[in-house]
Each structure stands twice: as structure tokens, then as C-alpha cells.
Structure 1
Amino acid sequence: MLPETVATMNSAEIQFDLKVFTLDCVKRAAYRVTGGSSVDIAIEGGLAKCVLHFSKPISGEQADRAIEALRLEVLDQDLRRVVAEETASVRNAVLALAFSKSGLKSVD
């Protein structure tokens, strides 16, 4: 029986449609998943092309997991952005009330 060989990879690629996700969300997500890799981001025809460069060769299965982690993190960052936008007025009102009762005086 021959030993099983495992193909290794140094990089993997995924693209995100910038009509669906903002570039900021893609950047934030890339930063969050850079544990064992670095990420290059390029804009091509309305897509954010992300290339993950792994610090050491990994299996195709590990590369798939890294891509899935980035995909999920982009979705998470996008949902965080939506929630922040939807709750901005309430958050600002709460902060304004808190600071109005803080006793801080402005320096004129």
C-alpha cells in the first residue's frame, strides 16, 4: 500500500461582491482571521479579491476552513455595521443623557 499524499497550499483566494459587503467589512474581517496567515486585498471589477498567504504550507482542507472563517467573519462584520447604523440614534441619545448628568463643565 502506498503512503497517502496530502497536497499542501501556500495561499487561497476568495472574492466578495462590494455591492453586498463594504470594503471596510472585508478589511476588518481580514484583520480578525490573520492568525496563521496574511491577507492581500485588491479591488477588481466591483469585487474585493482576498488572497490568504499562509505562514507555512497547509492542506487543502485547512485552506477551506480558513476561507470559511473569513467568509463568516465578513458576514459578522457586515451585520455589526448594520446594527450600529440602526441603533446609532438610540446610542447617541443615551450618551448625550449620560454626559449631560456627568457634572463635567466645558472649558471656554
Structure 2
Amino acid sequence: MTDSSHGGELVQSAQAKFDLSVFGLDCVKRAAYRVTGNAAVDITLEDGFAVCALNFSKAITRAAADTAIERLRLEVLDQDLRGTIASETASVRNAILALAFSRSGLQSDD
């Protein structure tokens, strides 16, 4: 990412791009929300990419900004995998819920 000679430089923002043919926009939005602890995230679309600009509430070192970008990238991957697992297990989850509700007495027998 950045060599150690620039680790002390202070920055107010950092940027990451995500290919929308790999990651869905919803996935990127969820990840951005999860990493907003010390930065606001602006998302724009450019040529098939979601461009995330992290705007830090106060100037931080380049090394800390790189760490924030790495955290965002990992969170995007995590959200993508969560979405994949949710879609792959939806039928089983729905069957379990249907069985649970059918035995709960909450539904009428109409």
C-alpha cells in the first residue's frame, strides 16, 4: 500500500474502488455503514465501480488511513459473503420458519 516513509503524513481522506461486476452496490453500502466510526463515507459510481471516499473527522496518518481502507475492503468482502450465504440458505431457513409457524398456533387453519 504505502511505504513506511509516508506513514507520518497527515491526511483528511482516503479512497477505495470496488468493481460492481464483483460486489453489489448494496454490499458496498452495508460495508461503508459498518466502518463509519471515525469517517463519513461518500459513494459515487464511476465506469462500473463504486468509489468510496472516506472523509475523516480529523486528520490522521497515512498509515491509519491505509488501515481504514483495508478495514473497508475486508468489510465489503464480509458483506458479500454474508449475502451469498443468505441466498444459498434461504430455502432451508424458510422451511424451518414455515414449520415453526405451522406448529405455533399463530396462523389460522382457513
Q: TM-score when scaled to structure 1?
A: 0.92
Opposite residue 13 of structure 2, the aligned amino acid is S
Counterpart Cα distance in 2 of 1:92 and 1:83: 14
Instruction: Give the unaligned 5+ runs of structure 2.
Output: 1-6
Opposite residue 36 of structure 1, the aligned amino acid is N
Specify which of 87, 92, 110 is matched with residue 85 of structure 1. 87
The yes-or-no answer on 1:70 pairing with 2:106 is no
Q: Which secondary structure state, in structure 1, belongs to the residue aligned with residue 69 of structure 2? A: helix
Q: CA RMSD in A?
A: 1.4
Specify which of 97, 102, 105 is matched with residue 103 of structure 1. 105
Opposite residue 10 of structure 2, the aligned amino acid is T
**Contact 2:8/2:63, CA 8 A, preserved across alignment:** no
**Residue 51 of structure 1 corresponds to which residue in structure 2?**
53
Counterpart Cα distance in 2 of 1:91 and 1:6: 49
The yes-or-no answer on 1:29 pairing with 2:31 is yes
Aligned-residue identity in percent:
66
Counterpart Cα distance in 2 of 1:75 and 1:52: 17
CA deviations over 1:43-77 (Å, ceiling 9, x no partner): 11100000000000000000000000000000000
How many angstroms does 1:104 deviate by? 1.2
Pairs aligned (count)? 103
Counterpart Cα distance in 2 of 1:6 and 1:76: 30
Q: TM-score when scaled to structure 2?
A: 0.90
Instruction: Give the unaligned 5+ runs of structure 1.
Output: none
Counterpart Cα distance in 1 of 2:58 and 2:107: 56
How many angstroms does 1:6 deviate by? 2.7
